[in-house]
């Protein structure tokens, strides 16, 4: 959510930003906010004037009564009563206008960074850098589910019976590998100075609207029937929500957190749920990283966060690349975003395994996350988030890049301690 002052001082900047994101249907909202804001300020100014007048006249009533001027005192009382009624009406109007302004401002996208490439959708995202040499072995690499089934590590048929498409049973060494990757990711981030959290897996609606746009909410979140609770789509939702209505001392920053959670997503949209596979599913687990920091520090933290993911995958010998999201592919709250994509030897291309985002002060403004600075006063923090790893999607990259000619799966050294010392998975 943008600062209302920006609508008053530079509405053209907001409109230009909307055009960069190819959301021209939202352009009228800017003028609507400006008009409603003027009405709100007029109502507030009128209210302030009436309160001042009412206080002055109220003081006169006592004096007039003391002087025996009852008739004049009664007229003043009538005037005060009329003012009180108008004030009550104005308060209702102010609340209504404030709600209408907020409703529109929540839909208007955040101002993107000047460095973001302009493009309509993810087809126009821009590759930044590659890490590691992509390898295509001289033997055929089966589909990831076929690899898992051969190793007795997945049961999709039973999951369809219990839950439908988009769910799975992992079992045996594949399930253990899944947990090993998450445990390694946890320790990897702790070693980099992040504090480990396991957050609530359900959050209230005011937190949901504080951390994401309405479109994301409708396409992602599962609502708990009869309660003001939603299942989280990522632990970022709970972790940023943790700071709601908080004033942080500047000395407490940055807050660097890493969190584990299951994630639940409707996955509504063009991609849909796979009939057979674990790339796009309703339920998965993830290790996340979150930073709350000073505004001037967020660009540096942005680079550090996505580099953490690159380093994590490279420590497991998986080639990756970074891809900068263009303007049309950015969610409305994001200032800048970079995806980390892993190499798929089977498809001979890269696919997304993580996403790093700088949201500026958008979430902080919605949730009331402020910084207290003795010299500067109070101001909104910046928030960032990034995926460390999200199996089972990461399992696809892992299995394909570690598959051996004999059908076994090599276990890289960093994971062996989490796999009971195993160096490979066999049938």
Report the SS3 class of residue 387: strand
Task: Determine the pLDDT at residue 83.
Answer: 80
pTM of the model: 0.89
289/423 Cα distance (integer angstroms): 29
Domains and CATH numbers, the chain: 4-105 (1.10.287.40), 122-425 (3.30.930.10)
Beta bridge pairs of residue 356: 338, 386
Task: Determine the pLDDT at residue 96.
Answer: 96
pLDDT at 63 over 70: no
Model confidence band, residue 34 (pLDDT cutoffs 50, 70, 90)? very high
Tell me the pLDDT tens digit for each residue of 202-224.
Answer: 999 999 999 988 778 888 899 99
Q: What percent of the chain has pLDDT over 90?
A: 81
Comparing 157 with 66, which gets the higher pLDDT?
157
Q: What percent of the chain has pLDDT over 70?
A: 95
The two tokens of residue 295 are: 């505004």
Distances (CA, A) of 179 to 117, 171, 204, 418: 37, 11, 29, 8
Model confidence band, residue 61 (pLDDT cutoffs 50, 70, 90)? low
Model confidence band, residue 412 (pLDDT cutoffs 50, 70, 90)? very high
Instruction: Give Cα 208 distance to the centre of its chain.
Output: 9
**Dihedral angle, C-alpha 26, 363, 293, 357, nearest 10 °:** -60
**270 class by beta-carbon count within 10 Å (0-12 exposed, 13-18 middle, 19+ buried):** exposed
pLDDT at 416 over 90: yes
426/404 Cα distance (integer angstroms): 10
Distances (CA, A) of 103 to 93, 96, 230, 272, 307: 15, 11, 20, 29, 36
Of 8, 12, 33, the C-alpha closest to 106 is 33
Q: How many CA atoms lie within 13 A of 248 on its CB side?
A: 21
Say what angle helices 11-20 and 27-66 make with each other, to 10 degrees: 150
The two tokens of residue 71 are: 């008739």
Model confidence band, residue 68 (pLDDT cutoffs 50, 70, 90)? low
Per-residue pLDDT, averaged over 107-112, amounts to 96
25/19 Cα distance (integer angstroms): 9
Per-residue pLDDT, averaged over 70-93, amounts to 80
Instruction: Give Cα 40 distance to the centre of its chain.
Output: 30
Tell me the pLDDT tens digit for each residue of 296-313.
Answer: 999 999 999 999 999 999
Per-residue pLDDT, averaged over 377-381, amounts to 95
pLDDT at 60 over 80: no
Model confidence band, residue 228 (pLDDT cutoffs 50, 70, 90)? very high
Model confidence band, residue 269 (pLDDT cutoffs 50, 70, 90)? low
Per-residue pLDDT, averaged over 371-379, amounts to 90
Task: Determine the pLDDT at residue 270.
Answer: 52
Per-residue pLDDT, averaged over 268-273, amounts to 60
Per-residue pLDDT, averaged over 38-52, amounts to 91
Tell me the pLDDT tens digit for each residue of 272-297.
Answer: 566 678 888 899 999 999 999 999 99
pLDDT at 141 over 80: yes
201/264 Cα distance (integer angstroms): 9
107-128 burial, b at 16+ Cβ within 10 Å, e below that, comes to ebbbbbbeebeebeeeeebeee
Per-residue pLDDT, averaged over 414-425, amounts to 96
297/202 Cα distance (integer angstroms): 30
């Amino acid at each position: 959510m943008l600062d209302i002052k920006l609508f008053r001082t530079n509405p053209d900047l907001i409109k230009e930003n909307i055009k960069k994101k190819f959301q021209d249907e939202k352009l009228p909202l800017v003028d609507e906010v400006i008009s409603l804001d003027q009405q709100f300020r007029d109502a507030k100014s009128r209210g302030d004037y009436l309160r001042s007048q009412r206080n002055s006249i109220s003081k006169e009533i006592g004096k007039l009564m003391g002087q025996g001027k009852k008739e004049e005192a009664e007229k003043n009382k009538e005037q005060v009563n009329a003012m009180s009624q108008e004030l009550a009406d104005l308060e209702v109007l102010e609340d209504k206008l404030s709600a209408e302004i907020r409703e529109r401002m929540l839909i208007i996208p955040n101002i993107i960074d000047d460095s973001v490439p302009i493009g309509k959708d993810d087809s126009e995202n821009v590759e930044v850098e590659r890490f590691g040499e992509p390898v295509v072995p001289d033997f055929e690499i089966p589909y990831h589910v076929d690899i898992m089934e051969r190793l007795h590590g997945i049961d999709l048929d039973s999951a369809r019976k219990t839950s439908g498409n988009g769910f799975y049973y992992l079992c045996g060494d594949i399930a253990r590998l899944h947990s090993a990757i998450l445990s390694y990711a946890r320790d990897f981030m702790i070693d980099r100075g992040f504090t480990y959290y396991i957050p609530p897996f359900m959050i209230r609606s005011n937190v949901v609207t504080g951390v994401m746009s309405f479109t994301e909410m409708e396409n992602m979140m599962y609502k708990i029937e009869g309660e003001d609770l939603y299942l989280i789509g990522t632990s970022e939702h709970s972790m940023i929500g943790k700071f709601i209505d908080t004033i942080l001392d500047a000395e407490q920053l940055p807050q660097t957190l890493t969190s584990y959670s299951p994630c639940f997503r409707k996955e509504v949209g063009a991609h849909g749920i796979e009939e057979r596979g674990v790339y796009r599913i309703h339920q998965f687990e993830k290790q996340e990283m979150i930073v709350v920091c000073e505004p001037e520090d967020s660009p540096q933290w942005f680079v550090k966060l996505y580099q953490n993911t690159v380093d994590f995958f490279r420590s497991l010998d998986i080639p990756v690349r970074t891809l900068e999201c263009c303007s049309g592919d950015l969610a409305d709250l994001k200032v800048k975003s970079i995806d980390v994509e892993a190499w798929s030897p089977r498809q001979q291309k890269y696919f997304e395994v993580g996403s790093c985002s700088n949201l500026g002060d958008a979430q902080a403004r919605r949730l009331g996350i402020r910084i207290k600075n003795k010299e500067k006063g109070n101001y909104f923090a910046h928030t960032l988030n990034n995926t460390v790893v999200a199996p089972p999607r990461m399992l696809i990259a892992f299995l394909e890049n570690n598959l051996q000619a004999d059908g076994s799966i090599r276990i890289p050294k960093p994971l062996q301690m989490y796999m009971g010392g195993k160096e490979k998975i066999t049938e």
